[in-house]
Amino acid sequence: MTLTAFIAALLTNAIPGLRELARRSWCTKQRSRLRALDRKIVWVHDGEKVPWALWGADHGFFELEWAGHLPYLRAVAAVVSAPLAVG
């Protein structure tokens, strides 16, 4: 275990709520990356972040899809709130 990983694990256990804050921050960062003009998808290569990606998709940060065993994120489709025209 590296020193950075050890300190991160220590802080996670020492400060309640730090893990949720880190997860929300990661999801916000991924949503920002998806909003960039040249980004269509963001691959989730880190297996430890898959639960965070699932949480982010459940909470509306982005959509989660799978390419085989590798998950990727897509921007949430825009919701149209205008009523449909009936003619």
Is residue 84 in some structural domain? no
- Are the beta carbons of 52 and 42 closer than 8 angstroms? no
Q: Look over the chain and give the mean of its residue pLDDT values, rounded to a whole number.
A: 84
Is residue 12 in some structural domain? yes
Q: How far is residue 79's CA from residue 77's CA, in Å, rounded to a whole number? A: 6
Half-sphere exposure of 65 (CA within 13 A, CB side): 9
Is residue 86 in some structural domain? no
Is residue 18 in some structural domain? yes
- Are the beta carbons of 69 and 36 closer than 8 angstroms? no
For range 48-75, the mean pLDDT: 94
Half-sphere exposure of 1 (CA within 13 A, CB side): 8
Given pLDDT bands bounded at 50, 70 and 90, which one contains residue 54? very high
Is residue 45 in some structural domain? yes
- Domain total in the chain: 1
Is residue 81 in some structural domain? no
Report whether pLDDT(87) > 90: no
pTM over 0.85: no
Is residue 83 in some structural domain? no
Report whether pLDDT(73) > 90: yes
Is residue 37 in some structural domain? yes
Domain housing 15: 3-74
